[in-house]
Amino acid sequence: MSQSLQSGSDDAGSVQAPAVVRLSGVGKRFPGVVAVSDVDLEVLAGEVHVLAGENGAGKSTLMKLVAQVEPPSSGRIEVDGRRVSYQGPASARRLGISMVHQEFALAPDLSVAENLFIGHEPGSGGLISRAAERRAARDLLARVGLDVDPGRRVGRLSTAEQQRVELAKALAVDAKVLILDEPTATLTERETAELFGIVRELTAQGIGVLYISHRLDEIFEIGDRVTVLRDGAVVATRPVAELDESRLVTLMVGRDVQNLYPRTYSTPGDVRLRVRGLSRGDAVRDASFEVRAGEIVGMAGLVGAGRTELARSVFGAEPPDAGEVSLDGAKLKIRGPADAIAAGIGYLTESRKADGLALQLGVDKNITLAKLPMASGLIDLGAERRIAERERDRLRIRVPWVGRPVQALSGGNQQKVVLARWLQTEAEVLFFDEPGRGMDVGAKSEMFSQLDSLAAQGKAIVLISSYLPELLNMCDRILVLREGRITGEVERADFSEERIVALATGAKEGQ
């Protein structure tokens, strides 16, 4: 955290940094919905100001108002002390407001340099100077610690490298305010630490950062102040140093959350899922593992280590070249997801919007997608509605009408819809791929409570996560992957972040 900021101090000798953005009484209404109500907020030069709250609290809407993606319905927004009117995102960028979305806005077939300067390419007389573009790109990439050829195609970069390109792209407009929306969602612990180093360098240059995250440890590590939203209104703005996790969670959800990772441990039963010698190209190499009844087995590793590819191979989404999969002692022949579903295997994809949901269909259609209720050869619409309403109530999916399109739901509620689909199939083996990504603390606690309940019912659970606290708190064992291979297995009694990181990177513990 920045040590130079003085915000709200009673010390007469302290000097508060100037506000680069100030919101006064800002509101946003949609038909029938008040998304943001009478919000006052300041982002100071050189601070990391965190927006916290549950899904649907208004964080994303407020972010869009600052970045002029949406016009406010009421209130006043100032940049550098001057009131600004809504003129769209291009105007916000000219004012020095840049936003890095959780889902990157990069053109994969263009070069790094071309992505950095789309819409404001250097040159004169209507001609673009590619040489000048590459020189300027190198300078921007250096600011975010990325050593790649500016001429390299963005689609060939890793996720962490693409994020740094997004940061560089934001800085290309001489940013005064940088808005980061869940920037570590797809990053490893090491990549997150590197990102935080970049953020600290930017705030040292006087850039104000508006930071959205559901990860509590990040808020306390990188934040200077935090504004908590609930139901579209500001509950509190506090220096991070004045809060602890318990107090922050209570502010966010309006109630005490006793345990973010509820887990009831018991002795696992017989082996349910057995995988032997599974291989698929270079992505999965000779993988063998077992999961017992009532057990939650974690899969850890760096981005690209092969965790998702292994899960998709077992599920038949990417059929393996070799190996075998058995369930309850019976060898399975899985040629595709339909075979896996019929056998009793479910997979909650990490990319729920791309692969997990039919966004334009209703909640009811999405929940029954894997197991349609049929009557006389036709879909039983009444049964479909009753199933959806039952799962909505059981998982507390916030939707008044189950026919509402899934794309209208928050990320956490979308994730619950995917979970509801697999619960109603009564799958015996479930792969959860990054289930907590983009979920607020309340929804995440509910999700992990469901995992615990499924394990207690004797299901075999595989939990894939890039966020080690989830694995360390929820799992009985953790398998660590590197370059497509399972490089180690850590029993619960031996859990430590250092051991798992060492296995994931190939380093020796303590180095």
The model's pLDDT over 198-255, given as tens digits with 9 standing for 90+, comes to 899 889 999 999 999 878 888 999 999 999 998 889 999 999 999 988 888 888 877 6
β partners of residue 124? 127
Same structural domain, 367 and 236: no
* DSSP, res 181: E
In-domain check, residue 123: yes
What's the pLDDT at 190? 78
Give the span between the Cα atoms of 23 and 335, in whole angstroms. Answer: 55
With H, G, I as helix, E, B as strand and everything else as coil, classify residue 249.
helix
Residues 313 and 396 in one domain: no
Confidence class for position 5, pLDDT limits 50, 70, 90: low
pLDDT at residue 1, as a whole number: 55
Instruction: Using pLDDT thresholds of 50, 70 and 90, give the confidence band for residue 34.
Output: confident
Which DSSP state fits 352? I
| pLDDT at site 13 | 46
In the prediction, which pLDDT does 330 show? Answer: 95
Share of the chain above pLDDT 70, in %: 93
- Which range, 263-267, 279-283, 393-397, has the best average confidence (pLDDT)? 279-283
User: Minimum mean pLDDT among 91-100, 182-191, 205-214, 230-239: which range?
Assistant: 182-191
pLDDT at position 3 is 45
Q: Is the pLDDT reported for residue 256 higher than 50?
A: yes
What pLDDT score does 456 carry?
A: 94
Q: Please classify residue 10 by burial: count the beta carbons closer than 10 Å to its beta carbon, then call 0-12 exposed, 13-18 middle and 19+ buried.
A: exposed
47-61, 222-236, 451-465: the lowest-pLDDT one: 47-61
148-172 pLDDT, tens digit per residue, is: 999 999 988 887 788 888 888 888 8
The verdict on residue 230 lying in a domain is yes
Better-scored residue on pLDDT, 273 or 260: 273
What pLDDT, on a 0 to 100 scale, did the predictor assign at position 39?
A: 95
Are 333 and 441 contained in the same domain? Answer: yes
Residues 435, 346 contacting (CB under 8 angstroms): no
- How sure is the predictor about 307, in pLDDT bands with cuts at 50, 70 and 90? very high
If asked whether residues 422 and 432 sit together in one domain, one would say no
On whether both 433 and 340 belong to a single domain, the answer is: yes
- If you ran DSSP here, which 8-state letter would residue 18 be given? P
The answer on 437 and 305 residing in a single domain is yes
Is 338 found in the same domain as 250? no
Looking at the domain assignment, is residue 194 inside a domain?
no
Residues 304 and 436 in one domain: yes
Lowest mean pLDDT among 81-85, 244-248, 251-255, 275-279: 251-255
Same domain, 408 and 370: yes
| 7 assigned to some structural domain | yes
438 and 511 assigned to the same domain: yes
Residue 2's pLDDT is: 52
Q: Are residues 339 and 365 in the same domain?
A: no
| E strand segments, 216-262 | 225-230, 233-239
CATH of the domain at 288: 3.40.50.300
Copy the structure tokens of residue 444. Answer: 């995440």
The confidence score (pLDDT) of residue 7 equals 43
The answer to whether position 188 is within a domain reads no
pLDDT score at 120: 75
**For range 337-355, the mean pLDDT:** 83
- CA dihedral sign, ordered 496, 308, 463, 183: positive
Give the count of domains, the chain.
Answer: 4
Task: State what percent of residues in the chain have pLDDT above 90.
Answer: 45
Task: Determine, yes or no, domain membership for 466.
Answer: yes
Is residue 190 domain-resident? no
Calpha distance 91→321 (Å, rounded): 52
Q: Is residue 191 part of a domain?
A: no
Q: Say what the pLDDT of residue 324 is.
A: 95
Q: Which domain holds residue 103?
A: 97-173
Please state the rounded mean pLDDT for residues 379-407: 87
As a whole number, mean pLDDT of residues 72-89 equals 93
* Cα distance between residue 462 and residue 108, in whole Å: 32
Q: Of the ranges 69-73, 358-362, 408-412, which is most confident? A: 69-73
Partners of 179 in beta bridges? 99, 210
Alpha-carbon span 390 to 12, nearest angstrom? 59
List all residues 6 or more positions away from 370 whose beta carbon is below 8 Å from its beta carbon. 341, 346, 421, 422, 424, 425
Structure tokens belonging to residue 172: 């290309």
Split at pLDDT 50, 70, 90, the class of 312 is: very high
Whether residues 335 and 372 fall in one domain:
no
Three-state secondary structure along 271-314? EEEEEEEEEECCCEEEEEEEEECCCEEEEECCCCCCHHHHHHHH
Confidence band for 272, pLDDT divided at 50, 70 and 90: very high
Mean pLDDT of 1-9: 47
What's the average model confidence in pLDDT over 99-124? 83
